[in-house]
Structure 1
Amino acid sequence: MPIASVDPATGRTLETFEPMDAAAVEERVAKAARAFREHRETDFATRAALMRAAADLLDGERDTIARTMTAEMGKTFASARAEAAKCAKAMRWYADHAEELLADEHPDPADVADSGAERAVVRYRPLGVVLAVMPWNFPLWQVVRFAAPALMAGNTGLLKHASNVPRTALYLGDLFHRAGFADGCFQTLLVGSGAVEDVLRDPRVAAATLTGSEGAGRAVAAAAGDAIKPTVLELGGSDPFVVMSSAAAELDDAVSTAVTARVQNNGQSCIAAKRFIVHEDVYDAFAERFVRAMERLTVGDPMDDSTDVGPVATEQGRADLEELVEDALSRGAAALCGGGRPAALPDGWFYEPTVLAGVTDAMRIHREEAFGPVATLYRVPDLDAAVALANDTPFGLSSNVWTRDADEQRRFARDLEAGGVFFNGMTASHPALPFGGVKRSGYGRELSAQGIRAFCNVTTVWFGR
């Protein structure tokens, strides 16, 4: 079956590609393995110069690749440009910091003397070829946040990107080569999901990283576990956005952030806030302002600077969103705004910014991730109820809490079951901060020191007396 690039704003097919056959995949796996033997011997200064060259290319081509991302998955052009800029920033961050993050560690000789050692060294060595299975929602950033640390650590990469963003995938496969990385250091495999397991099981592939659905994560983790290969998984999220009464004076800022947190990337972000849990003392004021702000958003052409929310990326994605909303409404939830397709946009896969209230645990949306511009609104009486409801989800990616009370901050930081707790601001990923989740949101961490060490052989080097 051809791999297609389809414009979600119109439903029009832009370009189709034939998947690579087994011989083409074999050629790229072999090339990645050969490139690893060369790339691992380069020093950090050489890798950093190459990574900065890739960042420079990306900066110079920002508008071009932003148009490609917008055309393939519907994010607004402004957000696509910002994504490209963020990728270049991360490349430079790892170029600047990789050597120190992977520097040899020297335990105090006195601490290891009883092992019979005169001294010992802990070293971080690259693992080899790493397979990256990546999603469409941040088609540049999700890849770069793996590729930059992996290449700086001395690994090589194979990218199996989402099948609806083939143009972006091919761009990425070409970017690092044009920057000067040796042939085979980073390559795109234009294949369907059915080809992933064979690549992962290939003995020349050392590890895998996946960002995507729970189903894809389970499949990759199972195959990797059977082959005894390490993985990092970043899966779904249904992040809470908690507003306590101590934030009453900052309610306008909380509302503004809440809207951005819900509809960023057209609502299609694993770390987007999705469940809005508000203390009863400020619930009515928050709800009124939040709904009004969601209603004011402009839905339309993602290339138009005035557009706030573009289309959902795929027709099936919109259908899944509609099913969740219809299930909630049929079971007694109320749509305070939105709740359907915008009548003025009959073409493409648009969905109205929607706020649902009266959500209960009998509704699918209480447990499942809403991947689109749909928010659920909850009223809670106190801190205990806020913590309990925030944790009442199978996911645990990140969380947002608005409170100025130090005791409340300590409680949320201690008890929220999530990979991140962001106070009085919006969850975001940053090169210097570890990123990942718990529960069904996955395991392992990307970015920061943890991210670059994820695909290293942490080696103990012991010297006897």
Structure 2
Amino acid sequence: MQDFSAKDWADRAASLTIEGRAFIDGAYINALSGNTRPTLNPATGEVLVAVASCGPEDADRAIASAKAVFEAGTWANQAPSERKKVLVRWAELVEAHAEELALLECLDVGKPISDTLNVDVPAAARTLRWSGEAIDKVYDQVAPTPHDTLALVTRLPLGVVAAIVPWNFPFSTTAWKIAPAIATGNSVILKPASNTPLTAIKLAGLAKQAGLPDGVLQVLPGPGGSLGSHLAKHMDVEGLTFTGSTPVGKMLMEYSGQSNLKRTYLELGGKSPNIVFADANLDKAAAMAATAVFYNGGQTCTAGTRLLVQASIHDAFVAKVIEHAKSWLPGNPLDPATSMGPMVDEAQYNTVAEYVRIGCDEGATLAYGGKRVKVTDGGFYHEPTIFTGANNQMRIAQEEIFGPVMTVIPFETEAEAIAIANDSIFGLAGAVWSKDINVAHRVAKAVRVGTMGINNYFGGDMTVPFGGFKQSGNGRDKSMHAFDDYTELKTTWIEFD
């Protein structure tokens, strides 16, 4: 990769041709209604491109195509080794277009270019390659039955799968969903978030170049309320995977019950506890405590927004965290030196600002930040913000803010830390910091979350599953476990004469 400056990236952005049409049956086309929706640059508030705004009629067309190609076996019946070749070529094309994809993600989401180029795009490519490489290594089973019988347990694709992805990590989360779904032989209808569709649209064209048959992947940008609900209720959609908010996830589960009981897997909200004991490596813990909340502007479902600190070190540790927070001041996302960009849009900025007001009204102490930052005219920039003097019953400790807001809660004992950590409707992620291996493992085991770090935060890669307990969802992304979400088990029982 070349070492570009902020001006270099701005020049490239100015000359970038952005595709905004839907991708249906192997071609870029407009919505049947002709409707479009502008997608904005969160850093400036300026329109990037008019994007097709698809409706139920577009979904019906895409689903019919996806179902036809599935039933014909054009993709589903290809040997796993052949499907692998396509996914690996697809990953190679993502890597070849890395700078363009990183720039699209930066402009569309407001993520710093250093993150989109070095984290998001490589992660998506790795997901495609890993899923492709894994698919011809998934074996069916022969059950231990009586000698005069043979029982086969085989794994079959669901059929048409709808994938609804979020705006905070649109590219990497899209790969988490569609790579295992397509690798296992399904046809996929992808609905990106209405305000961040650009990398998904580009990715579909690269899939065609890689050799994916027409109709296996369709991309429908459009509103969640009408388009998303139509997909979730459609009788020809056999599977649904969603990453987003808990309230929307609950609605999608209801739609499954109202329609055909489609397999529905959800990765939802979080209010993750980051627990620091007095004997921890406090310098490392403080640096990661800031990263755990302020990375991606706090617009991260796993963000460690509840910082639980043992009372004996509370004041000194918070002071260390505040020093690290200063390095997360928001800036121009096209500048490679920027660590945090703007909120994704004005609505999300207003949500963050409202929770800062709520925290102050609840009696918490605003220890750092809390204000708007004007980096560029029209941008939605918010300071990293830290509340102290809080308790776990406050709204800022219980509700997902999805912004750069940390709530610090003191605790005295191990048991108290566990109780506070588990006092949440969510159960997505968390971490514990201690040099005592017994404390670390006891706490990690007791906290009811899907991913728990010991002396680290944001740990994990493609080899391990990702998902939540409680109202943080069900099912799992990443690893071989993700294949379970997109396949059915079938028993074939044979009796010998």
Same topology, TM > 0.5 = yes
Code of the residue aligned with 1:330 in structure 2: it is D
Structure 1: any 5+ residue segments left out of the alignment? none
Q: Does the CA-based 8 Å contact 2:233-2:255 persist in structure 1?
A: yes
Superposed displacement of residue 420, structure 1? 1.3
Q: Could you say what secondary structure the match of 1:273 adopts? A: coil
1:27 corresponds, among 61, 71, 83, to 61
Q: Could you say what secondary structure the match of 2:391 adopts? A: coil
Other-structure match for 1:43: 79
Q: Could you say what secondary structure the match of 2:347 adopts? A: helix
Code of the residue aligned with 1:49 in structure 2: it is K
Q: Could you say what secondary structure the match of 2:240 adopts? A: strand
- 1:8 aligned onto 2:8: no
- 1:216 aligned onto 2:216: no
Give CA deviations for 1:124-151 in whole Å, capped at 9, x if unaligned.
1111110001111101011101111111
Query: Which is further off, 183-192 or 335-344?
Result: 335-344
- 1:85 aligned onto 2:122: yes
Q: Distance between the aligned counterparts of 1:190 and 1:308, measured in 2?
A: 29
Code of the residue aligned with 1:230 in structure 2: it is R
- 1:289 aligned onto 2:325: no
Q: Does the CA-based 8 Å contact 1:3-1:166 persist in structure 2?
A: no
Quickly say closer, same or farther: Cα 1:409–1:105, change in 2 above 3 A: farther
Q: Distance between the aligned counterparts of 1:364 and 1:320, measured in 2?
A: 13
Alignment of 1:56-455 (within 5 A): 56-81=92-117, 82-100=119-137, 102-107=138-143, 109=144, 112-113=145-146, 118-193=149-224, 194-227=226-259, 228-247=261-280, 250-343=281-374, 347-455=378-486
Other-structure match for 1:54: 90
Query: Which is further off, 382-391 or 428-437?
Result: 428-437
Q: Distance between the aligned counterparts of 1:305 and 1:23, measured in 2?
A: 42
Code of the residue aligned with 1:426 in structure 2: it is Y
Q: Does the CA-based 8 Å contact 1:6-1:164 persist in structure 2?
A: yes
Q: Distance between the aligned counterparts of 1:210 and 1:163, measured in 2?
A: 14
Q: Distance between the aligned counterparts of 1:300 and 1:410, measured in 2?
A: 38
Superposed displacement of residue 343, structure 1? 5.0
Superposed displacement of residue 454, structure 1? 1.1
Code of the residue aligned with 1:331 in structure 2: it is E
Q: Does the CA-based 8 Å contact 2:475-2:485 persist in structure 1?
A: yes
Q: Does the CA-based 8 Å contact 2:39-2:47 persist in structure 1?
A: yes
Superposed displacement of residue 221, structure 1? 0.9
Backbone CA RMSD of aligned residues = 1.6
Quickly say closer, same or farther: Cα 1:388–1:80, change in 2 above 3 A: same
Code of the residue aligned with 2:244 in structure 1: it is G
Q: Distance between the aligned counterparts of 1:429 and 1:317, measured in 2?
A: 28
Question: Percent identical across equivalent pairs?
Answer: 31
Higher share in helix:
1
Superposed displacement of residue 429, structure 1? 4.7
Code of the residue aligned with 1:88 in structure 2: it is A
Code of the residue aligned with 2:456 in structure 1: it is G
Q: Does the CA-based 8 Å contact 2:386-2:407 persist in structure 1?
A: yes
Superposed displacement of residue 20, structure 1? 2.6
Q: Could you say what secondary structure the match of 2:427 adopts? A: coil
Superposed displacement of residue 362, structure 1? 4.9
Q: Does the CA-based 8 Å contact 1:209-1:232 persist in structure 2?
A: yes
Q: Distance between the aligned counterparts of 1:183 and 1:231, measured in 2?
A: 25
Q: Does the CA-based 8 Å contact 1:174-1:187 persist in structure 2?
A: no
Q: Does the CA-based 8 Å contact 2:305-2:407 persist in structure 1?
A: yes
Query: Which is further off, 78-87 or 353-362?
Result: 353-362
Q: Does the CA-based 8 Å contact 1:4-1:166 persist in structure 2?
A: no
Quickly say closer, same or farther: Cα 1:251–1:39, change in 2 above 3 A: same
Superposed displacement of residue 345, structure 1? 5.1
Q: Distance between the aligned counterparts of 1:245 and 1:331, measured in 2?
A: 28
Code of the residue aligned with 2:485 in structure 1: it is A
Query: Which is further off, 32-41 or 80-89?
Result: 32-41
Q: Distance between the aligned counterparts of 1:200 and 1:277, measured in 2?
A: 38
Superposed displacement of residue 120, structure 1? 1.6
Q: How many residues of Structure 1 are paired with residues of Structure 2 in the alignment?
A: 457
Q: Does the CA-based 8 Å contact 1:126-1:155 persist in structure 2?
A: yes
Q: Distance between the aligned counterparts of 1:117 and 1:240, measured in 2?
A: 55
Query: Which is further off, 353-362 or 378-387?
Result: 353-362
Q: Could you say what secondary structure the match of 1:232 adopts? A: strand
Q: Could you say what secondary structure the match of 1:176 adopts? A: helix
Q: Does the CA-based 8 Å contact 1:47-1:95 persist in structure 2?
A: yes
Quickly say closer, same or farther: Cα 1:381–1:362, change in 2 above 3 A: closer
Q: Distance between the aligned counterparts of 2:444 and 2:367, measured in 1?
A: 31
Superposed displacement of residue 17, structure 1? 2.4
Structure 2: any 5+ residue segments left out of the alignment? 1-34
Superposed displacement of residue 344, structure 1? 5.5
Other-structure match for 2:10: none
Q: Does the CA-based 8 Å contact 2:398-2:424 persist in structure 1?
A: yes
The TM-score, its normalising length taken from structure 2, stands at 0.89
Q: Could you say what secondary structure the match of 1:462 adopts? A: strand
Q: Distance between the aligned counterparts of 1:296 and 1:179, measured in 2?
A: 41
Code of the residue aligned with 1:320 in structure 2: it is T
Q: Could you say what secondary structure the match of 2:150 adopts? A: strand
Give CA deviations for 1:19-59 in whole Å, capped at 9, x if unaligned.
23444332211111122232110011111110011101100
Superposed displacement of residue 173, structure 1? 2.4
Give CA deviations for 1:258-296 in whole Å, capped at 9, x if unaligned.
222211112111012111101123322221110111023
Give CA deviations for 1:173-221 in whole Å, capped at 9, x if unaligned.
2221221100011110122121222223333211100100122211211
Q: Distance between the aligned counterparts of 1:223 and 1:275, measured in 2?
A: 32
Code of the residue aligned with 2:114 in structure 1: it is A
Q: Does the CA-based 8 Å contact 1:4-1:163 persist in structure 2?
A: no
Code of the residue aligned with 2:131 in structure 1: it is Y
